């Protein structure tokens, strides 16, 4: 087997894993309970795995844990695409980070 090829200098490393307490939204995800979910009494928490770029934009979003309801999971993914985060900085520079973001869906 060949040895791993080193990354060229200047390429970003893996995103830094952060806890949910690090989340500061500039624009929070627009959580809206779909009408069909409301009628059927669907509720729960969707956990999304989000890679946030240095500018605070969600670059990659995937389902980490389902609410158990596809409608809620899909709405959460859609809502997170519109979210904007406060960039995180270390030593004067913003960095890419990874977080498991909870989105709670309750009946009002």
- Strands of 58-65's sheet in order across: 16-17, 97-105, 44-52, 58-65
- Contact (CB, 8 A) for 47 and 102: yes
Prediction pTM value: 0.85
Q: What is the pLDDT of residues 31-51, one digit of tens each?
A: 999 999 999 999 999 999 999
Q: What is the pLDDT of residues 76-100, one digit of tens each?
A: 999 999 999 999 999 889 999 999 9
Give strand pairing partners of 60. 51
Q: What is the pLDDT of residues 7-25, one digit of tens each?
A: 555 555 689 999 999 999 9
Residue 1 has pLDDT above 90, yes or no: no
Query: What is the SS3 assignment for 26?
Result: strand
Other Cβ atoms within 10 Å of 83 Cβ, number: 23
């Amino acid at each position: 087997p060949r040895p791993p090829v080193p990354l060229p200098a200047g390429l970003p490393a893996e995103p830094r894993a952060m806890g949910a307490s690090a989340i500061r939204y500039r624009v929070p995800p627009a959580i809206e309970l779909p009408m069909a979910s409301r009628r059927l009494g669907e509720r729960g928490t969707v956990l999304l795995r989000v890679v946030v770029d240095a500018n605070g934009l969600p670059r990659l979003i995937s389902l980490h844990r389902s609410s158990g309801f596809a409608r809620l999971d899909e709405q959460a993914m859609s809502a997170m695409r519109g979210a904007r985060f406060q960039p995180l900085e270390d030593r004067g520079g913003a960095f890419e980070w990874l977080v498991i973001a909870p989105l709670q869906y309750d009946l009002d």
